[in-house]
Amino acid sequence: MNLKPSKRQQIFEFLCDFQNQYGYPPTVREIASAVGLASPASVQVHLRSLERDGFIERDPNKPRALKLNQPTKLSQLSESVGEQSETVTIPILGRVAAGTGVVAFEDRDGDLVLSRDMVGNGDHFALKVRGDSMVEMGIFENDWVVARAQKVAEVGEVVICGIFGDEATVKILSKLGEEVELLPANKNYQPIRANHEEVSIFGKVVALVRSF
Amino acid sequence: MNLKPSKRQQIFEFLCDFQNQYGYPPTVREIASAVGLASPASVQVHLRSLERDGFIERDPNKPRALKLNQPTKLSQLSESVGEQSETVTIPILGRVAAGTGVVAFEDRDGDLVLSRDMVGNGDHFALKVRGDSMVEMGIFENDWVVARAQKVAEVGEVVICGIFGDEATVKILSKLGEEVELLPANKNYQPIRANHEEVSIFGKVVALVRSF
DNA sequence: AATATTTTCGAACATTTGTTTGTACTGCGA
DNA sequence: TCGCAGTACAAACAAATGTTCGAAAATATT
């Protein structure tokens, strides 16, 4: 008897959808245009009906003051995660130990979490970039560079390395051999040449993360 | 730094409580009287602040059109400690629907996993950068930009937006008003000026990720 | 002390919105 | 045909509501 499948049902489903999507209830006019009614007065009838049967509660004269008593039954659209990508927790190093080429995880300043397919295999660490010697490669001050810990690299790769036991620095490896050459990516800086013994490579840059 | 414990915190907690209790969000004036502010204008500045930081989303000029982005957690406001780094799975969008300003998560091209403290609160999406119009900000082709979905932004912020229903683009928002101006970060490109109606903001860039 | 910056207030305004009223239109049974 | 109940419509109204503007007060900064 109280079966009004068409409009009443449409309205109730729209209420659920709207609340679900926007986080707040629609107005009478929004309902009207959504279900194909031309006048807000037409909606009133159905709202009263829905309230009488306990599906919703309303507060008179207040915009959007409408509460669903039977929260969505058609929720959980596509929140199913399925396969979750594996994540890697990468320590942020305050400084890199200038030892024998082995990266010591000292002064951990926190962590960076990335998906495994972003960085690949191996052990990783992250450094906050200081200075602007790599701006032409889009590596800015205060960015984080993520490096895979490795003691060797090839020409042309971006590496984290220490020179003369100095603090770690990020540069482009440009020549290998008896003499090693490191290139900045900034015309205002000079290339660095040093003896093979004086340069230790800590890792190869595999990713960059910037937070605004 | 962004610590405004008193009123801002009160307002956010009231929003949670109210939504929880009544099923719909409060009005600006209800907020005002609840937290002890005498003018609705006083509330506005805090709401704007909360929206800017991604805690809520609003629809201008609409009563109670206010969505909580994190209904449950109210501790986040006071510079939470964040022991275990919560991770966020961010969908990579192939394209952004040029609809009514609502970002439709179409053409999901995969996911990006970042720690919550990297991107902040709210709903996020990621786009692969095409072109070199933002190189001077260190945003290169094939980088991923991570944006928080929001329909408003402030001058000077980097935003994802669509113009004339074109594909989404990342630019610097430089002027608001009847005419909107969008700045590229590349001397070879011209600023874009368009009518307010023709530009829709999809989100604010909060992070950048590059994979080498 | 002097100066910015933030916060708050009051008032006014334009818009949105729920509601009411009166009027058609439809299907249905007596 | 005549009511009758349900539904839909347009117009109009009063109240609620978001927003803006200028100024005062409080707070932070120099």
What stretch of H or E contains B38? Answer: none
Q: What pairs with residue A113 in β-bridges?
A: A89
For residue A117 the two structure tokens come to 């397919």
Inform me whether the pLDDT recorded for B36 exceeds 70: yes
Return residues with beta carbons within 7 A of strand C: A 27-30, 39-41, 44, 47, 58, 60-65; B 4, 6-7, 32, 36-42, 45-46, 49, 61-63, 65
How far away is chain A from the Cα of B134, in angstroms, using its nearest Cα?
10
Q: Please, which residues have CB within 8 angstroms of residue B79's CB and are 6 or more apart in sequence? A: B2, B3
The 10 Å CB-count burial string (b at 16+, else e) for A24-38 is: bbbbbebbbebbebe
Q: What is the mean pLDDT of each run of 10 residues along chain A (212 residues)?
A: 57 81 85 86 85 78 77 33 62 58 53 80 84 88 87 86 77 83 89 84 89 83
Burial environment of residue A115 by CB neighbours within 10 A (0 to 12, 13 to 18, 19 or more): buried
**pLDDT at position A73, please?**
37
Q: Is residue B51 very low, low, confident or very high in pLDDT (cuts 50, 70, 90)?
A: confident
Q: Which comes out higher in pLDDT, residue A179 or B87?
A: A179
Is there a contact between B24 and A67 if contact means CB atoms under 8 Å apart? yes
| Exposed/middle/buried for residue B186 (C-beta within 10 Å: 0-12, 13-18, 19+) | middle
At A74, give phi and psi (nearest 5°): -115, 35
Rounded Cα distance, B103 and A17, in Å = 16
Q: What is the pLDDT of residues B134-179, one digit of tens each?
A: 989 999 988 889 988 777 777 778 888 887 766 788 888 877 666 7
Q: Give B87-209's CATH code, choosing from 3.30.1330.10, 2.10.109.10, 3.40.190.10, 2.40.160.10.
A: 2.10.109.10
For residues B207 and B12, give the distance between their C-alpha atoms in angstroms, rounded to a whole number. Answer: 25
Strand partners, A88: A114
Q: For domain A5-68, give the fold.
A: Arc Repressor Mutant, subunit A (1.10.10)
Question: What tens digit of pLDDT does each residue of B59-84 get?
Answer: 878 888 888 875 444 334 333 333 44
Closest approach of A122 to chain B, Cα-based (Å): 15
Q: Taking every pair of C-alpha atoms in chain B, what is the biggest distance, in angstroms? A: 55
Is the CB of B22 less than 8 angstroms away from the CB of A66? Answer: no
- 3-state class (DSSP) for residue B40: helix
Q: Do B113 and A111 touch (CB under 8 A)?
A: no
Residue A58 CA distance to nucleotide D22 C1' (Å): 38
- What does the pLDDT read at residue B150? 74
Q: How many CB atoms lie within 10 A of CB A191?
A: 12
Q: Which of A33, A62, A133, A204 is catalytic?
A: A133
Q: How confident is the model at residue B125 (pLDDT cuts 50, 70, 90)?
A: confident
- Please tell me the predicted confidence (pLDDT) of residue B166: 66
**Domain boundaries along the sequence of chain B:** 6-78, 87-209
Whole-number pLDDT of residue A23: 80
Q: Give mean pLDDT, residues B41-52.
A: 85
**CATH classification for the domain delimited by B6-78, as one of 1.10.3720.10, 3.30.360.10, 1.10.10.10, 1.10.260.40:** 1.10.10.10
Tokens of B104: 């439709």
Strand partners, A149: A203
**Fold observed for domain A88-209:** Umud Fragment, subunit A (2.10.109)
What gap in Å lies between CA A143 and CA A211, rounded to an integer? 7
Mapping DSSP onto H, E and C, the string for chain A reads CCCCHHHHHHHHHHHHHHHHHHCCCCCHHHHHHHHCCCCHHHHHHHHHHHHHCCCEEECCCCCCCEEECCCCCCCCCCCCCCCCCCEEEEEEECCCCCCCCCCCCCCEEEEEEEEHHHHCCCCEEEEECCCCCCHHHCCCCCCEEEEEECCCCCCCCEEEEEECCCCCEEEEEEECCCEEEEECCCCCCCCEEEEHHHEEEEEEEEEEEEEC
Asked, colleague to colleague, whether B6-78 and B87-209 share their fold, the answer is no
